[in-house]
A and B are shown apart, each in its own frame.
Chain A
Amino acid sequence: MGFFIETIIAGLMSGVLYALIALGFVLIYKASGVFNFAQGAMVLFAALAMARLQEHMPWPLAFLLAFAIMVVLAWLIERLVLRHLINQEGVTLLMATLGVAYFLEGLGQMVWGDDIYPIDLGMPKQPTIMLQSLIPGGILVSNEDLIAAGSAAALVALLTLFFQKSGVGRALRAVADDHQAAQSIGIPLSRMWVIVWSIAGLVALVTGMIWGSKLGVQFSLSLIALKGLPVVILGGLTSVPGAIVGGLIVGLGEKLAEVYLGPLLGGGIESWFAYLLALLVLLARPQGLFGERIIDRV
């Protein structure tokens, strides 16, 4: 019993982190209709910046500085790439973000180095034992995971509120829906894009920070973004709650499958289980579990 609950908790913890990655995709997609392939590269870039800056200063300062760098990056991406592609096909924009991804991966390693760097947030490494009175032996929970999941959840809540309830959030959603109409009511596209890419930069930074503090910052960090893809498919590209629930489902499903199905299938399930889940959802509900129903006038 205790082991089962521990598995569930571990699954939910990694689920929160998957949700965070997926959120990066969803935010940019919602606000500009672009599927941002560079999200993984942004995670790597932000984490590298954070890790290297942290060698010289306390981590909160390094965090702020890294965020500032991500904002500058967002501004540059708008200025040099997106501005020239207004009103272009979605595929064109997708290819552009693919280019940005390779560029960022290269630039990040050139500027910050290509070694493995630690991020130390001073989080307690030792686990806590909980619920000893209810379950024999209690449940072993990693404090580090708990804090990471908590802060990720707080960030997600804040962003959801911002998007749904604030004027700027509304303007961002308006831009996503119709560029021309947004301009006609005086919403400046370029500024909105800088804002949304900055927010995606912040999400990337937090993601990179948390994963980096667990596993160290290295190139493979840009690949965890691939784990965001099944989450996004599961939850729907346009839904913030979908990204959260999708992340939790993937994290949980993966861990449970690994532990309980793994021995039967010879293990290694964790690496492909998420994609199988996504495929099944795609067959049943192409817009994802929470995506907006596609309304078309024929």
Chain B
Amino acid sequence: MVALLDTASAFTQPSSAQALAAPQMPVLRLEDIHLRFGGIKALQSIGFDVQPGEIRAIIGPNGAGKSSLLNVINGVYQPQQGRLTFAGQTLGLMRPVLAAKLGIARTFQNLALFSGMSVLDNIMAGRNLHMRCGLLSQALRLRPAVREEVTHRLVAERIIDFLEIQAWRKVPVGRLPYGLQKRVDLGRALAMEPKLLLLDEPMAGMNLEEKEDMSRFILEACEEFGTTIVLIEHDMGVVMDLSDRVVVLDYGRQIADDTPDAVRANPEVIRAYLGSATQEG
């Protein structure tokens, strides 16, 4: 661990070339995370890491603590115990705004879009942290502020193209169908150019076609933008196809952390989760 921390200075952003073979500094490392709400132990002794450029899935039955875990990484909840290391930096108290500043973006299980604003404005809002010009120069529309706005607009347009939502650019997101809103949610997160992207059930409530589209976007985001992704998902098929490694939670405990194939064969996982899931699907 000490050795890992020492290489902090040598750490480069995961979006740059991914050296495949060489062991790398993990983007995120969780150690012995405990989270309690009163008497309820939501998370107990969770520990795993996320490597640059990888798609990491967290699965588990309902109430296993998946969303709680995501909220710990994102700083919405503060764990009572445990250590969170992001990009080689051990973090104390995490807060949502701080997480965003460090380069952690997220999408929401139940959409949390700015529903009165247009698709473009939602995605531009994701550029917020990259805006350098001050309040005054924006208010007075000075040259640098205008130029900056144009630069960010280019990034936003690239994301709109990528997600194939050009036709709805000016439409308030509240009027879009659910599947498209999910895409805008992803787009807003991508606009932050995050080092780590947290997806909270990106396929929830989608039909097959929408799921396939979303899977494609997630894979391409990983490959094209080099984004490291942690995703929570119910749909087992999706998880097995998309992810490089899978963490399995059950009643707040981590019962497996392995490749999709190994997880599928793990008897404890089958007992806790796959047994019922295979019956469903």
Contacts and interface: CB of A to CB of B under 8 A. Distances in A.
Given A180-B112, A295-B174, A168 B121 contact: no
A204 interface: no
A195 interface: yes
A292 B114 CA distance: 13
Contacts of B106: 184
Contact of B113 (A181, A186, A238): A181
22 contacts: A165-B141, A168-B135, A173-B116, A176-B116, A177-B117, A178-B112, A178-B114, A180-B96, A181-B112, A181-B113, A182-B114, A183-B96, A184-B96, A185-B100, A185-B125, A185-B126, A186-B128, A189-B97, A195-B135, A292-B116, A295-B172, A295-B174
B138 A167 contact: yes
A74 to B, nearest CB: 13
Closest 7 CB pairs of A and B: A186-B100, A177-B114, A181-B112, A166-B138, A183-B96, A295-B174, A186-B129
B160 to A, nearest CB: 16
Contacts of B121: 170, 173
B128 A187 contact: yes
B139 interface: yes
B192 A170 contact: no
A174 interface: yes
Contacts of A168: 135, 138-139
A181 B107 CA distance: 8
Nearest to B133: A167
Interface string A215-240: 00000000000000000000000100
Interface string B24-59: 000000000000000000000000000000000000
Interface of B: 74, 76, 96-97, 99-101, 105-106, 108, 112-117, 121, 124-129, 131, 133, 135, 138-139, 141, 145, 148-149, 152, 172, 174-175, 188-189, 192
A171 interface: yes
B114 A181 contact: yes
Interface in A246-289: none
A113 interface: no
B175 A295 contact: yes
A32 B186 CA distance: 24
B138 A183 contact: no
A187 B126 CA distance: 9
Contact of A162 (B74, B117, B124, B138): B138
B182 to A, nearest CB: 13
Interface of A: 158, 161-162, 165-171, 173-174, 176-178, 180-189, 195, 238, 292, 295
Nearest to B127: A167
Given A170-B117, A295-B174, A184 B139 contact: no
Contact of A166 (B108, B117, B145, B189): B145
Contacts of B99: 184
B100 A184 contact: yes
Contacts of B96: 180, 183-184
Contacts of A161: 141
Nearest to B132: A167
Given A184-B74, A184-B96, A173 B129 contact: no
A162 B188 contact: no
Given A177-B117, A295-B175, A185 B138 contact: no
A295 B117 CA distance: 12
B112 A184 contact: yes
Contacts of A183: 96-97, 100
A221 to B, nearest CB: 27
Contact of A186 (B101, B114, B133): B101
A158 B108 CA distance: 35
Contact of B192 (A167, A181, A186, A238): A186
Nearest to B95: A183
Nearest to A166: B138
B119 to A, nearest CB: 13
Identify the interface centre among A168, A169, A186, A189: most chain B CB within 10 Å of its CB: A186
